[in-house]
Amino acid sequence: MIIDTLFEHGMCTLIPRGRIDSSTSGDFQHAMDYALGKTKNIMIDFKEAEYISSSGLRVLLSAKKALGNAGSIAITNCNQAILEILDLTGFSDLFDVDRNTTLDASQMKAIFFDVDGTLLSHTTKIIPESAKRAIKEVREKGLKVFIASGRDMRELQKILEMNGDMKFDGYLTLNGNVCINEKGEMFAGNEIDQGEVEILVNIFRAGTIPFVLIGEKERYINYVDDVVIETQEATQGTIPDIGEYKGEKIYQCLAFVDSEMRNRLENLLDQCSITSWNERGIDIIAKTGGKAAGIQKVIDIYKIKRSETMAFGDGENDLSMLKFAGIGVAMGNGVDKVKQNADYVTSSIDEDGIYNAFKHFKLID
């Protein structure tokens, strides 16, 4: 059995696929034990599950007994068959069960958009007019709209100004690790552990690979080569100034490396996670961070439920937020892994993907 495990904002989400029965409950137990060893707050997301038998229920019961009053187990996205089993056995009274059984976009209150490949086309170098129109219309209907991007605020402002100064209710920059409201004020952050930062700064200073350190307001690179120039030109990114680390909090690092070096960095950095945004570009952030963690901070502030959120993305660094949101939408131009894990796959960015998804979910007329 495949069970996706997602750690975000102090919570572990388990997403089992298929049937949870006597032949697969061992895998479920193993995933549950691993989660319990890391946190006391667990979400079981059954959106990919078909059925749960008594063997699977015993895993849930055992976990609840192990936690006692020290934590919680919530259950969400059950199909009707699983809900009926939970009701029949009384488990719906023992656990916090979200009874939303369908992808009902009528309840949406907040929508989150990646930028590169989702809002911004690297073919036309602009945001499609259809996307601008669709986002403006849902915002006028009272839905809140947010950007969730690996870019920093300066780059986002430049992109939005070049595309008609679009309005958003907030910005989850640096992959959700610096959260900024519509007034430009930071309201939440998730910096990399200072001990890990010491290692990252040493990589930066060693100068063996092009490496960028990013704080709340400043970012700087150790050196620039052809790979940096070509990668940033391909993604309409700007090249940071060459600079020196001054001791500030670091929220994200960039490295311009091949797959072999990426693997070496993943093995080296215990407290960080790495995602790709280009064949030669990677983001390095705290393991506790990511776009899903940024969304959690937003819904905490606005008192919004996860089931009332929708997220759009196309790349590897969008995967966590598409799994986390009530409805995750993959762009038709997205990577296969993102499309496989989305609730819905729309058309590509250059074929009015955002507009068509809004029409599909009846968010616009």
Residue 101 confidence (pLDDT) above 80: no
- pLDDT level of residue 261 (50, 70, 90 thresholds): very high
Average pLDDT over residues 321-348: 90
pLDDT digits (tens, 9 = 90+) for 135-171: 999 999 999 999 999 999 999 999 999 998 789 999 9
Q: Do 144 and 111 touch, CB atoms closer than 8 A?
A: yes
**Cα angle at 47 between 42 and 48, to 5 degrees?**
105
The one catalytic residue in 21, 33, 104, 114 is 114
Q: What percent of the chain has pLDDT over 70?
A: 98
- pLDDT level of residue 247 (50, 70, 90 thresholds): very high
Average pLDDT over residues 92-113: 80
Look up residue 351 and give its DSSP letter. Answer: G
- Decide if 27 is catalytic: no
Residues contacting 227, CB < 8 A, separation 6+? 210, 256, 280
- pLDDT level of residue 244 (50, 70, 90 thresholds): very high
Q: How much is the pLDDT for 64? A: 92
Residue 102 confidence (pLDDT) above 60: no
Q: How much is the pLDDT for 72? A: 83
Q: How much is the pLDDT for 99? A: 66
Give dist(CA 328, CA 311) in Å, integer.
Answer: 5
Average pLDDT over residues 200-204: 97
Q: Which helix (H) or strand (E) is 294 found in, with range?
A: helix 291-302
- Domains of the chain, start order: 3-97 (3.30.750.24), 105-190+290-360 (3.40.50.1000), 194-286 (3.30.1240.10)
Of residues 17, 140, 125, the one with CA closest to residue 31: 17
Tokens of 39: 């946190």
For the chain, the C-alpha Rg in angstroms (whole number) is 21
Please indicate whether residue 307 or residue 347 has the higher confidence score (pLDDT). Answer: 347
- pLDDT level of residue 340 (50, 70, 90 thresholds): confident
Give the other-Cβ count within 10 Å of 200's Cβ. 23
- pLDDT level of residue 103 (50, 70, 90 thresholds): low
pTM (2 d.p.):
0.72
Averaged pLDDT score across all residues of the chain: 91
pLDDT digits (tens, 9 = 90+) for 163-172: 987 899 999 9
- pLDDT level of residue 180 (50, 70, 90 thresholds): very high
Q: How much is the pLDDT for 9? A: 61
pLDDT digits (tens, 9 = 90+) for 11-68: 788 999 899 999 999 999 999 999 998 888 898 999 888 899 999 999 999 999 998 8
Q: Residue written as tokens 């063997």?
A: 55
Beta bridge partners of 116: 120
- pLDDT level of residue 100 (50, 70, 90 thresholds): low
According to DSSP, the β-strands at 96-97 and 49-52 are: unpaired
Average pLDDT over residues 330-351: 92
Average pLDDT over residues 60-85: 88
Q: How much is the pLDDT for 8? A: 67
Please indicate whether residue 292 or residue 10 has the higher confidence score (pLDDT). Answer: 292
- Kindly provide the b/e burial profile for residues 257-286, where b requires at least 16 CB atoms within 10 angstroms of the residue's own CB: beeeebeebeeebeebbbbbbbebbbbbbb
Residue 352 confidence (pLDDT) above 90: yes
